[in-house]
Structure formats: structure tokens, C-alpha cells
Amino acid sequence: MADVADNNPVLKHLLDQFRDAIIETHAFRGDVTAVVESARYHDVVLCLRDDPECSFDFLVDLTAVDRLKLKQKPRFEIVLHLYSRSRNARFRLKTRPVPDSDPVIDTVVDLYPAANWAEREVYDMFGIRFLGHPNLTRILMYDQFVGHPLRKDYPVNKRQPLVEERPVHNDRPGMVFE
Amino acid sequence: MMINMGPSHPAMHGVIRIITELDGEKVVSANIEIGYLHRAFEKECEVVGWGQAFPYTDRLNYVSPLINNVAYAMGVEKLLGIHPTERCDYIRVIISEVSRITDHLTCIAACAMEMGAMTPFIYLMKAREYLYEFVEELTGARLTVSYVRVGGVKGDLPDGWLDRLEKALDKVQIEIDEVDRLLTRNRIFIDRVKDVGCISSSEAWSLGFTGPVLRSTGMPRDLRKDEPYLVYDRFDFDVPVGAVGDNYDRYLVRLEEMRQSARIIRQAIEQIPGGAVQVDLSGRPLTGAQMVDAAKMGMTADLLLRTVRVDPTLEGAGKISAERMNAPAKGVVLPPKESTYGNIEGLMNHFMLIMEGQGIQPPPGEIYIANEAANGELGFYMVSDGSGSAYRVHCRPPCFYLMQGMDRMIVGGMIADVIATFGTINMIAGELDR
């Protein structure tokens, strides 16, 4: 943990500011990453955006990972990718919403408007709720859809057609329906 | 009055629904609904092997599928910590730029047609056809290319492909110039696009905009310049930017970007190392198919000593070309067909990569890779648990963020301008909904 932080000024600064809240750091293949406690998540994102030592003014991406099959607790992980125009640097911030049965986390839409649809997608696909989100509804799936498809316990072959699939009747002689 | 546009609307290419609230002809508010083309790309990636996801990436941005291939391959390579050869990097640059031109051609063509200008559509489709012929010759398909592989590409460039491409670029350039003369100073076109669908650079930046739409607002952000990947730092090219971020700027930026892409391709053709060499040790040309036939008849004694003529068809890929293209990583790249058929090590290597539960197995970890696609930053976030298939793949489609901000560009304008703005954003439903 120490050597990664030594090489990266942003991570070092973040550790100075939030030493008790940063659970884990790594820099696999050069991608600098910090994992923050869910309670301090919003504060850390605010610091990453506004602190002149960080100034990550661009939210590249926000997504989530279901770690059920990695057998790790807590189950879900929110992943943010940030970019700083002035430093031309990238940063990955992760946090783990709790509890596993109904994961909840603060929204960052107030800090990055770009997170709006991304958070809706995470809600849609993983069932993670974002507190304070202006319009937390499904985005890719339809409203009647049951469950959250990117969860690891959602079977890949499960079907929920919105419109019932009609059986094919072979009522025309000479035509073969497979 | 509420007006519902889409999901299947004649003037909108791509399935998307825009619910607009109108006051007369003025748009008061707009609600954009997406998801009509959701195909569970990310879930499927978790089921198939790392190398098997390429056909799915073709269908993300289906107007420039080669860029998606390249981005995905670069992601898995970053996870593995390998790098393909220099020649492969150049090939990836060339195919990416060809795709960028086809993408921008399609965008301008469709956009102009939706505003009533039919002629540019035909000219630009003709120009796109010149380039699609090269894509087809190289990959065997126009759209579902699946050409790039983890650690390399499927096969080397066909004989004379680069020379002919250079000549075709001249022909494309003539069509682009023709459309430039037809549209850029056209009074009707300018009236439809100028000062329509404006967005400021700070707003675009905060909404996660990238690519030509962000550059049209005046921000010179281009991953090829800012964070050069492949061999983009070796080329001399400009990043065109707009001034006010309206539809006209977006059109001009795309027009200029095509010229810059052609510039990059010309430089890459000049610089690309190791041209296709194609004779055997005694100086005779030999095709891959002939070699496979010889091996089937048991003539394997000097098989590995021979140099094979590069053959881009599936009949046989040349060993020499395979070495020139692919990373020297046995656990990732399929061996050349001569080795698979000619010796037991090659056969075992092939078998291990194809068997279920084997294949490419990156070490546990997570990476994010960003690539300047035709519409902006195309990113892949990949998590590996060390097994033969991905634990999680997330695609960051550039369109997703552009469509998120589209309501701000159309509110306050006329209902007819929605079509023009939608056209210059260049939404591709395949990558928007994944």
C-alpha cells in the first residue's frame, strides 16, 4: 500500500486527508485505485473534484461490480473513473454500498451531472439505490422487469418478454417453420 | 402539446424515443427514453471466453466496428500485460482511421438527408463504399468484421492493400470536397444548422461529452493527442475545434476530422514496418493453402523451414505473417495454421486455447482502457478473476453521455430542429443500449 501511494501524488494527498476512510489502494497495470468507506464516499468525491491537488473535473464512467462469486463482502462495489483535464491524469475510486440485501449509497449527481444516467443504469442492472438521485428509474430495461440482470445470481438464460412470445402455427401448406 | 418521436420514426436512424412537450412549434421540455436495443452485451461477456466477445463488440458501434474491436483487444492486452508488434499497432491505427472516416461519412450523409439534401447522401455513401470495399477485402465482412484478436489481428494485410487504399483515399477526398462545396456555404443548410442545438463547453464537459461533439464547443480534447495510445504519437495531425458548439460546428469538425484521418493513414502507410514478404526459402512463392495441402499428404519434413505467402483467406495464414502481427504470447495467441497442422506443440497450443475452461486467462485484476472512437471516448472496464471468461466487462459508450445531454440541446428550439441536432450527435443505438 505504501509504495503505490509514494508514486502517486493524488493518492498520497487523499490518504493524508482521509486516512481512516481509505480501505485499500492499488495500481494494477498503472491504474491508480482507491477504495473508500461508503459513509465517506461523497466527501471523497467532492475532494477529488474540488481540491486543487486533485481537480478531477470529468466523470468518465460510473458502474458497479457484483462480487458474489468472488466471495467477498460487502457484495457490491461502485466504480468511478475520473479524469483531470489540468493534470491529464486518471483515477479510479471504488466504494462498497451496504447492506447486501438492499444496497444504498449517496448519489454524486450533485457533483457530476454526467452521473445521472450512469447511476440509473447501475440501479437498473444491480438494484443499488442512490440516495438523493433526481430520477432513479430503470433506463435500459422496461419498468415491468423483475430483478436486476447483471447480478451474478440472475440466470443468463432467464427470459421475461414484455410481449408474450406467440407460438408459430404452420397453417400454410408448403411452408416449413422450424 | 405532447409529441412522441420514436422508437421507430422515419427521420430518426436508431431506436430511441423522445417525448417532447411543445408550445406551438417550440420544445418546452424533452424526455429521452433509451434501451430499445439492449442486447445484454455485458452479461454475455461474462459467459463467453475473453476472445469470443469480439463479435459482440462489432455490434456496439456498427458504423465503425473496427474501432470497437481494437478497444476491446487493447483492454484484454492491458489486463494480460502483453503488447502486440509494431506492425500490428500500425494496422490498428489504419483500420481505426478508416472506420472513423466511414463513421463521419455516415453521420454527415444521414444528417444532410434528414434535412432534405439527398445529393450529399448519395455522394458520401459512394465514398463510404470505396472504403467498405477495403474493409471487406481485409476482414471478409463489411460490418461484422471481428478482425482484431487479443494479442494481434486475424491476418496480415492483403498484397497491395495499402497502395490501393492510398489511391482510394484520393477518391474519397474528391467526394468529401464535393459535399463540402454543396453544403458548407449552402444557404438552406446553414439556416437549418447554424446556432441550432448549441451547448457550451463547460456544460458539455460536466455532462461527460467527448469526441467531435465536445470538440465542436471549442475544447481540443482528443485522446489520440492527450493520452496517445498505439502509435498515435508518431503522426502529425491537427485536432479541429469549433467555436459555439452548434450543429454547424459539429458538421465542420467532422468534415475536417475526415481529412485529418486521411492524413494519419497516409503517414502510417509510409511508416509501417515490414511489408508483406512472400517467397519461400528457395525463392518460390507458396500460398498457405498449398502448404496445408502438402502437409495433408505427409510432406511435413521441411514444413517449418518454409516462408509462406500471406493469404488473407481462411485457407491458411502465413507463419511469418503471424509472427509479424501477433504478440509472442503462447497462452493468448492462436499458433499459425502451419504449426497447428505441422507439429504436436502447435496442435496442443491451439487445443488449449480453444477448449472450454481453458483459453485466455488473464491474471486477477481490473483495468480501464480508453480509446478515441468516432463518437468520443469508448472505454472498457474489465475485471478478471483469473478464469477463462471475464468476471465483469463494462463498456463506456460515448453516445450514452451525449444522449443524456441531448435534452439540453433541443429544449428552447423548434421541433423540426430536433432532427438536425439528433443527426449531428450521431447516436448509434447499438453502443447506446449495448
pLDDT in tens, A62-71: 999 998 888 8
Which residues lie below 8 Å from residue B191, measured CB to CB, with a gap of 6+? none
Q: Check B35 against A118: CB less than 8 A apart.
A: no
A158 interfacial to chain B (CB closer than 8 Å): no
CB contact under 8 A, A61 and B42: no
pLDDT on residue B282: 46
Give contacts of B41 with chain A, Cβ < 8 Å.
none
How many C-beta neighbours within 10 Å does residue B405 have? 22
- Grid cell, residue B225, equals 493527442
Strand ranges in B255-406 using DSSP code E only, listed in sequence order: 365-373, 376-384, 392-396
Percent of chain B past pLDDT 70, that is, above it, reads 87
For residue range A64-101, list pLDDT tens digits in order.
Answer: 999 888 888 888 999 999 999 888 889 999 998 888 88
How far is the C-alpha of A58 from the C-alpha of A111, rounded, in Å? 10
A26: how many CB neighbours lie within 10 A of its CB?
16
Q: What percent of chain B clears pLDDT 90, i.e. is strictly above it?
A: 25
**pTM for the whole structure:** 0.86
pLDDT at A27 over 50: yes
Q: Which of the four pLDDT bands, split at 50, 70 and 90, describes residue B101?
A: very high
Task: Note the pLDDT tens digit of each residue in A127-154.
Answer: 999 998 898 899 988 888 888 999 988 9
| Rounded Cα–Cα distance for residues B343 and B322 (Å) | 16
Q: What is the 3-state secondary structure (H, E, C) of B8-24?
A: CCCCCCCCCEEEEEEEC
**Per-state percent for chain B, helix, strand, coil, to nearest 5:** 50, 10, 40
Q: At residue B318, what is the residue type?
A: G
Q: CB distance A66–B392 less than 8 Å? A: yes
A59 touches chain B (CB under 8 A): yes
Residues paired with residue B5 on neighbouring β-strands, in sequence order = B18
Give the bridge partners for A76, in sequence order.
A66
A85/B205 Cβ within 8 A: yes
Three-state SS for A141-155 is CCCCCCCCCCCCCCC
Q: What is the pLDDT of residues B225-239, one digit of tens each?
A: 888 888 898 999 999
Q: String of b and e for B140-171 (b: at least 16 CB within 10 Å)?
A: beeeebbbbbbbbbbbbbbeebbeebeebbee
Asked if pLDDT for residue B305 goes beyond 60, the answer is: no
Q: Does position A161 have pLDDT exceeding 90, yes or no?
A: no
Nearest CB to B381; choose among A58, A61, A112: A61
Range with the poorest average pLDDT among A5-19, B123-137, B181-195: A5-19
β-pairing, A33-36 with A89-95? parallel
Q: Which of residues 213-252 of B touch A (CB under 8 A)?
A: 221, 226-227
List all residues of chain A from 2 to 21 with a beta carbon under 8 Å from chain B. Answer: none
Asked whether residue B287 carries a pLDDT value surpassing 60, the answer given is: no
pLDDT confidence bin for B301, thresholds 50/70/90: low
Amino acid residing at B298: G
CB A86 within 8 A of CB A55: yes
Q: Which residues is B386 bridged to in the sheet?
A: none
Closest C-alpha to A115, from A132, A103, A102: A132
Tell me: pLDDT of B338 over 80.
no
Q: Taking a C-beta distance cutoff of 8 angstroms, is the pair B30, B20 a contact?
A: yes
ipTM of the complex: 0.87
